[in-house]
Chains A and B, each alone.
Chain A
Amino acid sequence: MNALTEKLVTRLGADRVLCQREDLIVYAHDGTAALRQLPACVVLPHTSAEIAEIVQLAVEHNTPIVPRGSGTGLSGGSVPVPGAIVLCLAKMDKVLELDERNLTMLVEAGVTTQTIAERAEAAGLLYPPDPGSMKISTIGGNVAENAGGLRGLKYGITRDYVIGMEVALANGQIVWLGGKCVKDVAGYSLRDLFIGSEGTLGIVTKVLLKLVPKPPAKKTLLATFPRMDAAAETVSAIVAAKIIPCTLEFLDNTTIRCVEEFAHIGLPLDAEAILLMETDGHPAVVEDEARAMETIAREHGATSVQVARTAAEAERLATARRAAFSALARVSPTTILEDATVPRSELATMVNFIQEAARRYHLRVGLFGHMGDGNLHPTFLTDERNADEMRRVEEAMREIFEFAVARGGTITGEHGVGLAKKRFLPKAVGDGSVALMRQIKRTLDPHNILNPGKVFDGCT
């Protein structure tokens, strides 16, 4: 045990500072494929004050800190860097306040997205962001990665619901940013700086969330297509018809088969693609939009459009869709998931390009995603033990990113840059942007101890 861990043990007690090899192994990865690094130790704080002290100790000992919630991230954001302390916030899981007069909820960073959704729903409210891993992902992680979800196109993403937060800074200070006011333009919007900062600027310890009234009606439709680009064109046409449903999710045939094998909900196994479409709001609007979407789908070649009969059936469809990424692992041991995103007018060309790239590199790909946001999840089905195939995956991925960027898109719609995509960042945002990010990082974290090496390299 080194001097730092000794101090941590003195401060937190041995049961909250894990150094056994058995503990280090299990915190060596998050939800990202093929990234693994053992940390030096894992600490489990209970309070913001403890976090501030841990950060201070880490600065004194020049030791990196990697924050972590439930470890479901998909860009390696909470994969340890060598010698790091993993700061796991899973035990800070209290809902501190549900303010029904202001429609806000104050939670600790380790509260799961599911808990927030359930508590909101019980009060007749809705917390819209619903990332695939919402049953276990923590709000701290959602904020750090600025997570999206299935309802992004109508309701937006995590950023749109964070109105305040408490952050532990690298200098050991704890600051509160934002508040319950709907309008507040006093000074810089600093909370926005921390949303999506991937743990590189500070440790988010508490989050104040905005909630919206739960929509009174909802309708879920499942459209089946014989061709993938027909589904993509349907989505572009729905948006062009000025309809913004809450969900437009797409699954290709490979994904359909894997999801069906897991969930047994009767998906059409021979369909080339399906669209899961959901509209919510006032009952009359919901009726109208559902009818319009059905018509557009049929005009674009949908062979069938079914309506979920019950809320439970609709929920089963959404839950099954959330399992898509993991279900694809039924085909192959390693699933490399990406989230290249393009403007919605470019969807059909993007879909065709991904398939074509997979063909050229002799790779299997499962394709699904939040088509309504232009946010696709091409998932390469591979085997990390096959070095040659992994190299081809890399190449195909690079081409897909370049294509997306050339079409006005981005390398990541909702998973973050982390370790997995930092090589592509300059191309996506430009050198000027990266230089500005570095400057901010140096200012807030001069010793480069907060999740160093994530998003971009070298900042000392």
Chain B
Amino acid sequence: MHLKRMDYSILLQCIHCGLCLPTCPTYAETKLERHSPRGRIALMRAIAMDELPLTRAFGEELYFCLGCLACQTACPAGVNYAKLFEAARADIEEMRVLANPLRDLVRGVVVGFVFCHPRALRALGRLLYLYQASGLERLVRQWKLTRLLPRRLRELEPLLPRIQRHFSDALIREVETLPVRKYRVGLLTGCVQDLIYPQVNRDTADVLLANGCEVVTPRLQYCCGSLHAHNGELERARELARRNMDAFDLDSLDAIITNAGGCGSHLKNYGELLADDPRYAARARQWSAKVKDIHEWLVEIGVRKPQATLPARRVTYHESCHLCHGQRVAWQPREVLKVIPNLELVELPESNWCCGSAGIYNITQPEMAQKLLARKQDRITATQAAVVASANPGCSVQLESVAGTFRVAHPVTLLAEAYRVERKGGGA
């Protein structure tokens, strides 16, 4: 068992002071100790000490946890909750306490196959695009054929986001260079980002080019493996990490750029994930040092202010959990937004409170996800912002599902738009 094998001092690090409780979304909603980080760690400790068998209730609890890592930011004692969380979920899967045939099937197909094979994922993406674009989806909904689906699937069907016609590699060439280049960077295009928001990848490339970076985008990229690591499949996560590293020529690159908070957090962790892999450990450490969130990188190299006149806009910023808590990248996206002319950045109250997307949480725990989304929507509406900027595709899908009065956009998209106005000759 991962929890039992783990260095016990990681579990002992928690002194149960409770300072994590007010930052935990599931505790705030329920006020129940078991739904708090302190409670979850106490349970993990009980399992590690053989005071509690690994029960189904424990399994359910750890899947009720969003894994948002707000507790990790709040913890003065420096408890590594991310590591505990991944170990606990791996144990839960190995002990199969939550197993049932349907769950096994869905996990087998999604986690075990689709997100392990990029070509399969894109093929599935194309099928879904055709289904949506051909009008078939409209007909299915009109004729209420969705009634034929099992209840859970029926409830999820409206959540299916719009798949785009062209994916990232149709929008971005393998190498896009500049007459004078200051840096050479690799671009990670992601999975969900690639299918649903490929334009964000194009925008990222444009912003990098506008800041003197040559952009290398390998054609075949693998899922970063965060989905696997967070869902108890650490071995598969390791395999994906190796393949991803093989896709990039690390020595020739100044940085590997990611624009998705959730992926970035995991990508930076390859060093630790593969620490015991004799072939890959050194390379993984090098990789972890080179992976940069796009905002982090832009601020590091000194992001250039676009010379354009743009209409005044009020923008607020929602923080992706794994960007602010996982990667501790919090002020940089705000700095990037502030260089955009005529953009008024208003702070979003509880900006670093999870929106409920949390990977696949909105699918596995729709009730809690909905509560968190409603809370987020209230806060956004109160700012009266026209745009809510967010740097993670999961958050974007979630926020777009309630976007009526506001538009959802990646900060980099807003910056890329400004550079485009600049290129056209200064704008309004």
Which residues from chain A sit less than 8 Å from chain B, CB to CB? 18, 20-23, 25-31, 33, 42, 44, 70-72, 88, 90-91, 93, 110, 112, 114, 133, 135-137, 258-259, 261-263, 323-330, 333-335, 383-384
CB of B400 closer than 8 Å to a CB of A: no
Contact B42 A71 (CB under 8 A): no
Give the chain A neighbours of B21 by CB distance below 8 A: 70, 136
Given contacts A30-B16, A72-B17, A133-B19, 16 further A-B contacts (CB under 8 A): A21-B52, A21-B55, A22-B61, A23-B32, A25-B52, A33-B15, A42-B33, A71-B16, A93-B31, A263-B76, A325-B17, A326-B17, A326-B75, A329-B17, A330-B77, A383-B12
Residue of B nearest to A23 (CB): B34
CB distance from A110 to the nearest CB of B (A): 8
Question: Could you name 20 residue pairs across A and B whose Cβ atoms are closer than 8 Å?
Answer: A20-B57, A23-B32, A25-B43, A25-B46, A28-B42, A29-B42, A30-B18, A31-B17, A31-B18, A33-B15, A72-B17, A72-B19, A133-B17, A327-B77, A327-B78, A329-B13, A329-B15, A330-B78, A335-B15, A383-B12
- The one of A18, A20, A93, A326 that contacts B76, using a Cβ cutoff of 8 Å: A326
Mark out the residues of chain B between 27 and 63 whose CB falls within 8 Å of any chain A CB in the assembled complex.
31-34, 36, 38-39, 42-43, 46, 51-52, 55, 57-58, 61
Contact A23 B17 (CB under 8 A): no
- Residues of B contacting A31 with CB < 8 Å? 15-18
Closest to B57 in A: A22
Q: Knowing A90-B31, A329-B76, A329-B77 touch, does A25 contact B16 (C-beta < 8 A)?
A: no
Q: Which residue of A lies closest to B40 (CB)?
A: A26
Which residues of B are found within 8 Å of A323, using beta-carbon distances? 19, 76
Is B16 in contact with A29, judged by CB distance below 8 angstroms? Answer: yes
**Known contacts A31-B16, A326-B17, A22 near B78 by CB under 8 Å:** no
Which residues of the other chain, A, contact B43 by a CB distance below 8 angstroms? 22, 25-26
Contact of A26 among B9, B38, B51 (CB under 8 A): B38
What are the residues of chain A within 8 A of B42 when measuring CB–CB?
Answer: 25-26, 28-29
Chain B residues lying within 8 Å of A258, measured Cβ to Cβ, are: 76
- Given the interface pairs A25-B51, A262-B78, the reply to whether A91 lies near B22 with Cβ below 8 Å is no
- A30 / chain B contacts, CB cutoff of 8 Å: 16, 18
Assembled-state Cα–Cα distance A14/B22 (Å):
25
For B38, the chain A residues whose CB sits under 8 A away are 26
Nearest-neighbour CB distance to chain A for B272, whole angstroms, equals: 19
Which residues of the other chain, B, contact A44 by a CB distance below 8 angstroms?
A: 31-32
Complex CA gap A33/B78 in Å reads 17
Residues from chain B with a CB closer than 8 A to the CB of A133 are 17-19
The B contact surface, by secondary structure, is loop
Docked CA distance A320–B39 (Å): 24
Q: Known contacts A70-B18, A71-B18, A136-B19; decide if A333 and B13 are in contact (CB<8 Å).
A: yes
Q: How far is the CA of A55 from the CA of B58 in the complex (A)?
A: 31
Inter-chain contact A71/B33, CB cutoff 8 Å:
yes
Nearest A residue to B77 via CB reads A329
Contact check: which of B12, B17, B52 meets A333 at CB < 8 Å? B12
Contact B15 A326 (CB under 8 A): yes
Across-interface contacts of B39 in A (CB, < 8 A): 26
The answer to whether residues A327 and B76 also contact, given A20-B57, A71-B33 and a CB cut-off of 8 A, is yes
Query: When the two chains form their complex, are residues A333 and B46 in contact, meaning their CB atoms are under 8 A apart?
Result: no
Q: Which residue of B lies closest to A335 (CB)?
A: B15
Q: Which residue of B lies closest to A258 (CB)?
A: B76
Kindly list chain B residues whose C-beta atoms are within 8 Å of the C-beta of A72: 17-19
Contact B33 A27 (CB under 8 A): yes
Which of B17, B38, B42: most chain A CB closer than 10 A?
Answer: B17
Please name all residues of chain B whose beta carbon is closer than 8 Å to the beta carbon of A261 when the two chains form the complex. Answer: 78
Q: Within 8 Å CB of B19, what residues of A?
A: 72, 133, 135-136, 323, 326
Complex interface bits, B3-20 against A, C-beta within 8 A gives 1, otherwise 0: 000000100111111110
Q: How far is the CB of B11 from chain A (nearest CB, A)?
A: 9
Q: Pick from A22, A112, A135: contact of B55, CB below 8 A.
A: A22
Q: Which residue of A lies closest to B73 (CB)?
A: A262
A45 to nearest B CB, angstroms? 12
Q: Give the most central of B13, B42, B52: most A CB within 10 Å.
A: B42
Nearest CB of chain A from residue B20's CB, rounded to whole Å = 9
**4 closest A-B pairs by CB:** A329-B77, A326-B76, A26-B39, A333-B12
Is A91 within 8 A of B52, CB to CB? no
Which A-chain residue is minimally distant from B21 (CB atoms)?
Answer: A136
